[in-house]
């Protein structure tokens, strides 16, 4: 898969997303189920789900900015 900038997507497993966000794997799945702003995972096969790390990073930055402006 290619992005519009013609660079490959950085796909990550739930454990890598959890490590980046400093949360548990269960929290990543809870965000997926309960937070409509959290990036949707890409289902590559029955037992293979990945997240686009560019989307996860953008979500985390937006969340941090929102938390700072709300405080």
Tens of pLDDT along the chain (71 residues)?
A: 555 677 888 999 999 999 999 999 999 999 999 999 999 999 999 999 999 999 999 999 998 877 767 65
Nearest alpha-carbon partner for 44 in 6, 13, 17, 21: 13
Q: Could you state, in order of their start, the residue ranges of all structural domains in the chain?
A: 11-64
Q: Residue 55: what pLDDT?
A: 97
Q: Residue 7: what pLDDT?
A: 82
Distances (CA, A) of 42 to 14, 51, 55, 67, 71: 11, 6, 12, 27, 33
Phi-psi region of 22 (alpha: psi -120 to 50; beta: other; left: phi over 0): left
Helix 25-34, helix 14-21: angle, nearest 10: 90
Contact 40, 28 (CB under 8 A): no
pTM of this structure:
0.82
């Amino acid at each position: 898969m290619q992005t519009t900038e013609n660079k490959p997507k950085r796909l990550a497993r739930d454990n890598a997303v959890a490590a980046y966000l400093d949360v548990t794997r269960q929290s990543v799945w809870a965000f997926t189920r309960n937070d409509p702003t959290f990036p949707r995972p890409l289902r590559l096969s029955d037992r293979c789900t990945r997240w686009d790390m560019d989307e996860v990073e953008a979500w985390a930055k937006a969340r941090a900015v929102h938390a700072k402006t709300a405080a």
